[in-house]
Each structure stands twice: as structure tokens, then as C-alpha cells.
Amino acid sequence: MPIVDERRSRLLELVREQGFAALPDLVERLAVSESTVRRDLEALEEAGQAKRTHGGVFYTGASPKLPHFDQLQPANWDKKRAIARKAAELIGDGDTVLLDGGTTTYEVARLLVGRPVQIVTNSLPTANLFASNANTDLVLLGGYVYPRTGVSLGPYANEMLAKLNVRRTVLSVAGINERGYYNSNLLLVETEQAMMRAAEEVIVVADSTKFGHQSLAHLASLNEVDHLVVDDGITPEWKQKITASGVRLTIASAKTV
């Protein structure tokens, strides 16, 4: 196989394994220049196997199309990646971790690939990251699959969650205000509340653009989670509100990503 074809085959495999791959990560893994990776990604995109976006590339080969998830994933990517790095540091080897289907949570999941942990998730994109990984045990929750984001919701998922116990639950949210945390889907919120009940520790990952906003369904009060991980765009006022509520606050710097 020609060197170019071999490199592009390896590149495609990396993107397929991760679902979404960051450009700097691909440059490091392949040990080639950024311009070379960009040319290879252009070729993969023309072949319909990948889709370039700000900061990285999505796999678009033989996997379910989730337009809403794909649209949200690149938004505030630097902040999400920084938050994910800090959140992943909170998870120990051997932990059982419950992950929802949020885009920031997905970034956490990508950093857990290959680690000796047990993953429980209701997210098809997240499950796809671990499905062929021998180092990680995977439990996929059943239920009604919401087609826009590929997450399972509803009474079947909630019933299964009621029988599970995990070390940590990691959740994304759509909004945070003085009343607490919000998401945009009523069924999703019911399932996430079941996820919270199943965990010893609840970690919320949210970028700073979510603060001061609400969404359709109220998930929990500020003090009902144990740990909040956010980027350094959070305001001093919100820092004070979060710490005053008794929640442990970790701030990630997007500049270090």
C-alpha cells in the first residue's frame, strides 16, 4: 500500500474510533505536519468518510447520522475540551462511570477510552467509542432512542438505572441559573435524575456560556450536585454563587488545550 494511502487509512481509523477527533491530536498521533493532516482530511471528506469542522473532524462513515449532535459538538469546542480534561482527572482507574449524552460529556468519554474503567451510558455516540475497546467494560442503557441526539430515554432506561449503582455520574446541562440546572428535553431530565440517584458522586460539566440561562426542564437545584467543572470564562459572581451552594468548583483553562 502506498505511504499516502496507508497514512489516510490510519487517519480514518483514528477518527472512526473517536467519533470526533481534534486536529492537534491527529497531528501528534500521526507524527506529520498539520498541513499534511489537513490535506488528508480533505480527501476523506471528499470520499464522504469524514466531515471537517472548527478544530477537528467528525467520522461520517458507517455510523448513525445524528444531525443535532453533530451540529452542537463543535460549539465552544476549546472550552469543552478543557473542561473534559479536568473532569477526566476526577475519574479513577477501576471506577464505574455513568455518562449522559451531552456533547461536553462526550469529550470526557473520549479521554476515558483505553482506561480500565466501567462505562454505563444511554448515548449511542458514547457507546460507540468503547464498543470495541478491550480495556473498558461497557453497559448500554435501553429505552426509547431520541433520534436527534442518539440517547435512550424514558421508563425502560429509568427502570434499568434504578437497579444500578455507580461511583460517579457525569452530566451535561443546557442552562444554569439561581434555581439550578436545566436541560431541553423532559424525558431526558427524568432519565438524568435517575442517573443522579444511582451515583455516589454527581459531576456536572458545563461551559461558561450556559450560566444565567434556563431551558425547558429543571434538572436539579444548585446544591444537588457534588462537583461542577467549568471553563475560566465563568464570572466572579457565579464562582461565588456556586461555592456558596456547597458545590465543589473546578475551573479549567481553555488556553492550555
197 lies in the same domain as 87: yes
Q: Do residues 203 and 169 lie in contact, with contact meaning Cβ atoms separated by under 8 Å?
A: yes
Measured on CA atoms in the order 244, 195, 206, 110, is the torsion positive or negative?
positive
d(Cα 103, Cα 144) in Å, to the nearest integer? 19
16 lies in the same domain as 104: no
pLDDT at 63: 47
Provide the domain limits for residue 234: 72-256
Domain boundary among 26, 46, 63: 63
> For the chain, what is the domain count?
2
d(Cα 112, Cα 102) in Å, to the nearest integer? 15
pLDDT at 10: 83
Query: Phi, psi (5° rounding) for residue 30?
Result: -90, -15
Q: What would the mean pLDDT of 108-115 be, rounded to a whole number?
A: 88
Q: What would the mean pLDDT of 66-80 be, rounded to a whole number?
A: 60
Q: Do residues 160 and 88 lie in contact, with contact meaning Cβ atoms separated by under 8 Å?
A: no
Domain boundary among 28, 45, 63: 63
228 lies in the same domain as 121: yes
25 lies in the same domain as 111: no
142 lies in the same domain as 233: yes
Q: Where are the beta strands (DSSP E) in 27-155?
A: 50-53, 56-59, 96-99, 118-121, 137-140, 144-146, 151-153
Q: What would the mean pLDDT of 165-192 be, rounded to a whole number?
A: 96
Element (H, E) at 202: strand 199-205
Which band of pLDDT confidence, cut at 50, 70 and 90, is reported for residue 77? Answer: confident
